[in-house]
Every structure is written in structure tokens, then in C-alpha cells.
Structure 1
């Protein structure tokens, strides 16, 4: 990150600067180039500064929830993101998306345009309040789903902006800033140094003790497996993990939340681990390893098959943000990247033997299609859909998978070289991925995003197709039309009316939302039609492509079916 005055904003070399420009300069230091949100009369003055600021683009979404989703997707590829709402009605609309970013460790700053300082201090019953003179209530709501927040004033703005943004960067979770209308143009001293300063190194003795504990666990081990989760991705461990896996012939796997953080073409990769419902090869690699190294991989029901994982602390080395554990020994204050580097050194000197099959290119298990009296079904199936998606994905592309059938189908899609993956298995807010794909497209325009989303989920946020075309995003959007909420049907209520949805004409949506004549929108019902549609998508890399894929209502990925059964048991639903 740089703090070069010439490329991060107006008045950069001046001794004083507006609060708005101070905040925007800091966001540019975090590599933020787009701000998402919806205008409201309490943020219009700030938006004037946003639209005038060199290097920044305002992205107006259809609602504030979608702005939060888009910022979340943007931050997963850029490292940070920002959204802007108005007080009360706007910020509360965004809370669900900010909560999802908190659950999934995504660094997003939510900026709320507040009524003027004197108005709030007097408790005047102005619009967008609850008419009771209480102005702190909404901020307290945000305090529950952020790691830091501040009410900015002309006096405290520089210090509070820096404190809050540093907390966001340090903990990789969302933060919140209230910006009153009269504070936007207040003059404050310009920053004199960079926003992000290196953390003080951990106590060398602490790191030494941790690595000594790891060495004891690795001594005599004949098999080691690395299991990575989403925190490894958020904290930038893709490169260090690659070095770790290259240090010795170890097996590697991911939780579904961490898909994409490891190179799936590397020797030793065995797939996604989901507890007892995992493929037997993955279970054996994780559960039978003499030593298991967990990297940024907190457990939850959705990534462990309903808490059906089997590994004990005695044979587990665990790395989490700010702490590490070697067996039962816990070491607070150990940095994950430093710990990964130290472990790579230990493995390099370990003389670990290569496990059986090490070096063979990983391939997801083949599953036979169900046969009918007329042979294989002529219509498109989940298995055929995901096979075609896997073959289509361009190098460096971003596979975005909506929670439900799409997310669990995507777990068995091999990512291409330098590919990325975006999903939300921990928070699981349906509709998240379409606005998130807007974010990934703008964050990394050189990487084409390929979104697979269910018909039910799409109906929550479909209007952002219009925002995509407005800002030149050109993803491939595959709508899985299986007539309703298939994931909910798999859990409970297979024929219940509450799992039904309206029958939309999905291929008509891009034009209805303002897409230009070059946009591709097709409906496919067979493998051949899907292959033709994806070939067309490959020939039109600069156009939004929507493919409506019609699948049977009851068809679902095997992983989802097994997990749905566990969720049904967990929720105490009867037969």
C-alpha cells in the first residue's frame, strides 16, 4: 500500500484536508476503488466528495442490502471494501450484509450519513428516526456486528478514522463510521504517515516455544495433513501455504469455507473435508493423519457435516488469528503467517515420507447417473451441470456459488490455475451471491466471474443484474431453475407450499433491467444445450451472459442431500 500524494486524492500535499477526503484517502490506501451504496439526504454531501475524488467510482446499487453484499464480494478479492448508506432506513437495510461479513471475516467499512451534529444533540424528531430523540440506537445495533465503530466529529475524525480502519485491517472484519452532514467538509490535518503500520513482532520466545511444541508433535509422524479454512484466505496466506505444502510431501484439504485458498493441482491435495459425509479419501487424509495442521479453519455445522468431524487436540496444530496451539498448548499472540513459515521449516527438515498416491493429479470422484427405463435421463442433471462448469472455467476466473445446491455442487468442481472461489457457507444468506458477483467483477475485472445461483435465491436480488450492466460487469450467471427452494425441501417440507416460488421468465430479466443488445440470455434443458451456451459465453467475454439451466426439482448434489439430513436431525424435524 502506498501513501503517495500524487495518486490518492486532491489536496494530498496540503496541511489540512476535509474529513471526507481524509477518509477517502485512507480507503484508497487500502486499494479501494469503488464505493457501493444508495443516496439519501444525509449522505449527499459526502457523495459529492466521492464522485469528485480521483481514482474512486461510485456504484449505486438498487438497495443497501445489496450494497453490503457487493462490498463483501469486492473485499474478498481486493482485501477491503466500503459502502455508504443514509441514517436509519438505509443503514438498517445493510445490517444483514454487514453481519454476514462479520461471520465470514470480511473487511468492510460501513459509512452512515448522519443528521447534523446539532440536530442529533438536540434529539429532534426528524425523518428516518424513531421520533423519540434517540440517535444512538442504530449505532449500537452495528456495534453487535462490527469490531470497531465511531461517531465522527470535526475534532476526532482523523484519529477515529485511523483507529477504526486499522481494527478492520487487523481483524479482517467489518467496522462502522457515523459521518454527520456538517462534519463532511470540516477541515482537519492531513495524514502524516501510512494507515497500515506493521504489527510488532511476536515475542521470539513465544514463537520458539510454539515451534518446539510442533516439533515434538511432528517427531516420528509418518503422515501430516494441512486443512485450511476461510481465515487463511482472508489473512493472505495463499502464498505462505503454498511454501508450506512444497516443504514436504504432505496431504492437503480444505473446509468448504476455504475452497480456493489451496492449489487444487498441487501434489497431495485431496479435496474438501466435511466430516463424516466427506469422500473416504478426504476422511482418511484428515482423520487418520499422525499430525493435522489446521490453518484459519474454525469449525461450524455447515463445514463439518453437522459437527461430525473427527480430530483431537492431541494430534492437532491449530493456527487462528492472533493465537496458535500445539496439541493442548495454547500460545496467544502468535501470528499465523509467522507460524506457517516456521512450520514450513520444520517440515522441510522432517524427512517425512511421501504418502501413497502423492503426486497424482487430484480428481473428484465420478458418480454414476441414475438410470430410468429409457437409460440415462435425457434432461440436464446436477452432475452434468457441474461437470460442464468445471470444464468451462477459464484460468484465473472466480467461481461464485450461492448457498444451497450451487454451493455444495461447486465443492466438487476443480478450480482452474489461479482460480478463486466465493461462497457464504457460514452466514448463508440467500441472494448474497448476485450482488457479491457485482463486487468481484469490479474488484478484479481481469478475472471473469462465473456465478451459479438457484432460482429462489436469484429472486431476492435479481435487480442487481441492471447494476452489473450499468457498470460494465460481464459475468456468466447460471440460474439453476429447479422450481423452488430445493435446499429447504431437502431439509424439510419436500412438497410444502412454502418452498414454492413464482415462475419467472429468467431469460427476460437482463433486458427488463436495462441490459444492452449484446447481452446473452438463453434457456437450456439438455447437456448439449448447456455446452452450446457455455461455448457462446466463452466467445463473448465482454458481455453479461445469463444461462437458465432447467433441472429436476428433486435433483440435488449428494453432499447437500447428506448435509440436509443432518440439519433436519439437528433441528428435530420429524419424518
Structure 2
């Protein structure tokens, strides 16, 4: 997500199946990951014996077949074709922005080979000149003298065309919003930033600006249930230019093959060549943060997210786990230069803790800020010690609301299956070997303020802040999103 491509190496069978959830999540969220699996030798497989880490039936391709469902390209390497097959998988991963799978057996790994002499070839010819010309004509006619509004999302980042989108926004006065999936994709401190669009769960001013725009450009937008208010978006195709990976649709007419970057560049050119400049628009103002509450006031969700936003600084990488952490932060504006990472489509709780480790390794110069619930953290907390091993100093905020609060809101408010064991979170870093750290348990606004102030002052130390919140309180945005899932259509706020 941060560096463009990554690699994970596991053993055969048990290792690769343990990683399958993460690989499937990368497929769903279009994250390019190369999964290299070390397997038993071809000779050993040929005996069809019951080898360790296998299912014991002599079939050693069970897991290769599994990989075909959750990766975009697979290779079972053979000596004669290994180099070509490796390049093929790497190329597909890079171009499709999804995981790939390489099975490397112990004997094939020992064969000598020459390193590639040339860089990986890139796909070419992804845009037809005729499709581009016809698109420009149709788009210019639809835009006319109207002001453009942009709704952008995740694929702009994944396809590495953020600069092209920024050039479009700079070509005129262009109000813009993102979905939660694409949060931090664009500068949220700009006066032209509208906010987060989430269908019926949007702030009314943002919903009006997007749904009633004279001409709307949707760039890299994928409407999923949890970012669209359960598909409650009301986008008029007749007034929309939808820019997708390999095609663009103008008022219902499809132009292809046409790559996203080329379409965005063409739209910017249309605006710069117009004889008019759009007037400034009154974007929905960012809600002013309320004055700090009394220091002895018990914490609420609103207090937590408001104070965290003040604590963020340019360069931070914020990882918010699915649940109150993600949706509590989603509708807060971030400072320019802050990267926001979540997993709203795949939604595997606990993902962000090891992902924060990966973010820190990818950019050790950028401090990571992890926001995670107590139930989610219990699934992956063993990675905490590795932050110390890698010399990283994240700020980790564990939201202790005594169990699965989002699940309580949907179904089973008092059901025992939404209860978890209440850990002593401030003891965990010591237990897992974190050498240099601070740990706080906070229940009032003053305690939270002191803990975050200490975190800012100790940039070279891991800081864990356990935030105790009411077990049944959830952020307003999440109330709107989960209400359709509640059996009686009501969600406790």
C-alpha cells in the first residue's frame, strides 16, 4: 500500500493457508503482494508419500488450486521456465494490483539461473487513440461551461495516477470528495475538499454537493456496502463521467480501451482550454472542534477522535481497524501529508496491527499511529514485540469498550458471544519484550490529553494508550451504516 508492491514468504501447506486470509484481503483491496511458497522437492512429490504439511493423500497441488481463487497469477516453477514464469507473475501483480503466487520447491531453488538482463516489461497500448478522441469530444460536450465536481476513490491510488487527478483539480475550481476507502487520497485541508461521501450516511451538505453536481467525475470509484451506506448512493448517470481502470463512461456511453491516467489528463486539458474559470464555491466548512471538556470528564467516542485529530502531524501513517476506530476517524479531516489506511471491504479485524508493523518497516521515517479495538487487537497482538525488534516507535491506541461493540449494536447487545476477556493492556508490551515504551490507561479527557502529549514528546519510544470507553457507544457515522443490518432497524447510539 505504501511502496507499491510487497512480498511474503511462507512454507508449504500450513504456512500458506495461515496467510490465505491476508492474501485474500489483498486481492479484495487490490494490494499487489507476491506470495512465495517453499514446497517439497519434485522428487518427494513424485513418491506421493504422506509428507509433513500436506493433507497426506499424495496430492501436492491442493493449495496451488486454492491460490487460483485469491491471486491474479500463479506459477509452479520448473527449472527450464522458472525465470520466464517469475517475470510473468511479477508483471501481472504489478499491472493488476492484486496478489500473485509462486511455488518454489527445494530442488528447483538450487538450480542455477541468470538474473534478468532487462526491467520487467510494462503493458503498452492500453489506450486507443480513437477511443480517447471520441471520449474527449463527448466529455467536452457534457462539461460545457459547467463546474466540475470530483468524487475519487481507492483505485486512483492503486493505479498510481494521483498526480493526474491532482492536475485535474488544479485546472479549475473543482470541489471534490472521496469515499472512506480513498480517505487521505487527496488533501483534506483544502478549501475545495467537501468531505467523505457515504450515500445516505453522508453529511447532508456533502451529499447534496455530490448528488446534485451539474457534472460529476467519479474517478476510481467502487461502491461497496460499508462505504456507500449500503448502496444508498444516488448518482445520476446522465450527469456523470465515470473514470475506471481501462474504460470511461460519459453519460452512459462507454469509451474503451482508455486508461484512467489518460482520461484524467484529457479532462484536465478540457478545463484548461475553456474560456471560463469556475467561480469559487462554498464548500461545507469543516466542523470546528469543540472546546476541550473538563479534564475529569469521562471519555466518549467523540472526545477520543477529536483529540486524536489534533495530535496528528504531517507524515503520520494512521491505521484504523474495522469498527469504531475506522468509522470514528473516517469523517474527521486529516492534516495534509497524513496517510490513512483501513480495510473496509475485506474487514478482517486485527489486520491493522501487523499492517502497522509493515508500514513502519516500509517508512521508518514516518511515525505510525494505530487505532484498534480490544477485540481486534487480541487476534494479532503477538506482533507487538516485532516493533521493538525493528526499532519502530508507533503510537498504539487500544479502544477498550469491553468487547465487540459494533456487533452488540447490530445484534446481541448483551449476548455472551460479544464478550471478551478484559486484558491488562498496559502490561502487554513488557510481556512481549518491548524494551523502550510508555503505557497508559486513560478514562478521562485529562488522562487522554496527558498520554497523547507524552507520546508526542517521546518520538523514539513505543507508546500504548488503552482508552476505556462505554461498551455500547459507537460513532454517529457507524450508526448510519450499520442500521440496515440491525434486525429491527434500530441501532443504539
TM-score (norm 1): 0.82
Instruction: Look up the match of 1:503.
Output: 422
Q: Deviations over 1:53-73 (max 9, x none)?
A: xxxxxxxxxxxxxxxxxxxxx
Q: Choose from 123, 134, 141 the match for 2:48.
A: 123
Do the aligned partners of 1:477 and 1:547 also contact (CA within 8 Å) in 2? yes
- Maintained 8 Å contact 2:7/2:34: yes
Distance 2:42 2:316 in 1: 46
Task: Confirm whether residue 438 of structure 1 aligns to residue 357 of structure 2.
Answer: yes
Measured in 2, the distance between the counterparts of 1:206 and 1:174 equals: 30
| SS at 1:400 equivalent | strand
Q: Secondary structure at the match of 1:275?
A: coil
Partner of 2:18: 93
Whether contact under 8 Å (1:473, 1:544) holds in the other structure is yes
Q: Are the counterparts in 1 of residues 126 and 246 from structure 2 also a CA contact under 8 Å?
A: no
Partners of 2:291 and 2:386 in 1: CA distance: 40
In structure 1, the residue matched to 2:472 is 554
Alpha-carbon distance between aligned partners in 2 of 1:544 and 1:196, rounded to the nearest angstrom: 42
2:449, 2:102 → 1: CA distance?
47
Q: Deviations over 1:393-443 (max 9, x none)?
A: 111111110000000011123222211110000100000000000011111
Give 1:412's match in structure 2, choosing from 311, 331, 339: 331
Match of 2:204 among 280, 283, 287: 280
Q: Which position in structure 1 is the counterpart of 2:129?
A: 204
Q: Is the 8 A contact 1:507 1:546 kept in 2?
A: yes
Q: 1:565 maps to what in 2?
A: 483
Where does residue 388 of structure 2 map in the other structure? 469
Query: Taking structure 1 as reference, are residues 116 and 383 closer, same or farther at Cα in structure 2, changes over 3 Å only?
Result: same
Offset at residue 466 of structure 1 (A): 1.0
Matched with 1:47 is none
Structure 2 SS opposite 1:183: helix
Matches of 2:400 and 2:490, distance apart in 1: 26
- Residue 227 of structure 2 aligns to a residue whose secondary structure is coil
The residue number in structure 2 matching 1:213 is 138
Q: Deviations over 1:454-500 (max 9, x none)?
A: 01100000111011111112110000011110111111111111111
CA RMSD across the alignment: 2.1
Moved more, 274-283 or 181-190: 181-190
1:345 aligned counterpart, secondary structure: helix
Matched, 1:306 2:240: no
Q: Which runs of 5+ in 2 are unaligned?
A: none
Runs of 4+ residues over 4 Å off in structure 1: 365-369, 571-575
The 1-side partners of 2:124 and 2:468 are apart by 51
Paired residues of 2:237 and 2:252 also in contact (CA < 8 A)? yes
**Where does 1:312-331 land on structure 2 (aligned, <5 Å)?**
312-331=236-255
Could you tell me which residue of structure 1 aligns to residue 68 of structure 2?
143
Whole-angstrom CA distance in 2 between matches of 1:388 and 1:245: 30
Aligned-partner SS, 2:70: coil
Q: Is contact 1:271-1:364 (8 Å) kept?
A: no
- For the 8 Å contact 1:523–1:550, the answer to whether it is kept is yes
Contact map agreement 2:243 2:249 (CA 8 A) in 1: yes
Q: In 2, distance between residues paired with 1:573 and 1:136?
A: 48
Q: Secondary structure at the residue paired with 2:313? A: coil
CA positional deviation for 1:377:
8.6
Aligned-partner SS, 2:52: coil
The answer as to whether partners of 1:241 and 1:262 remain within 8 angstroms in 2 is no
Moved more, 212-221 or 124-133: 212-221
Distance of 1:106 and 1:246 partners within structure 2: 28
Task: Say if 2:286 is the partner of 1:363.
Answer: yes
1:525 aligns with 2:443: yes
Q: What do the CA deviations read for 1:32-61 (whole angstroms, capped 9, x no partner)?
A: xxxxxxxxxxxxxxxxxxxxxxxxxxxxxx
Helix, strand or coil for the counterpart of 1:284?
helix
Give 5+ residue unaligned stretches, structure 1: 1-75
Instruction: Name the counterpart of 1:66.
Output: none
Question: What are the residue-to-residue correspondences of 1:149-228 with 2, within 5 Å?
Answer: 149-197=74-122, 199-200=124-125, 202-221=127-146, 223-228=147-152
SS in 2 for 1:399: strand
Matches of 1:267 and 1:573 in 2, distance apart? 35
Query: Is the CA contact (8 Å cut-off) linking 1:110 and 1:174 kept in structure 2?
Result: yes
> Contact 2:409–2:491 (CA<8 Å) still a contact in 1?
no
Paired position in structure 2 for 1:426? 345
Matched, 1:349 2:268: no
Partner SS for 1:245:
helix
1:337 aligns with 2:261: yes
Alignment of 1:211-250 (within 5 A): 211-221=136-146, 223-250=147-174
Q: Say yes or no: does 1:460 pair with 2:460.
A: no
SS in 2 for 1:528: helix
Any conservation in 1 of the 2:296–2:444 contact (CA below 8 Å)?
A: no
- Corresponding residue of 2:456: 538
Structure 1 pair 122–324 and aligned structure 2 pair: CA distance change class (3 A): farther
The one-character-per-residue Cα deviations of 1:230-270 (angstroms, maximum 9, x if unpaired) are: 11111112222211111111110000000011111223101
Distance 2:234 2:273 in 1: 28
The residue number in structure 1 matching 2:431 is: 512
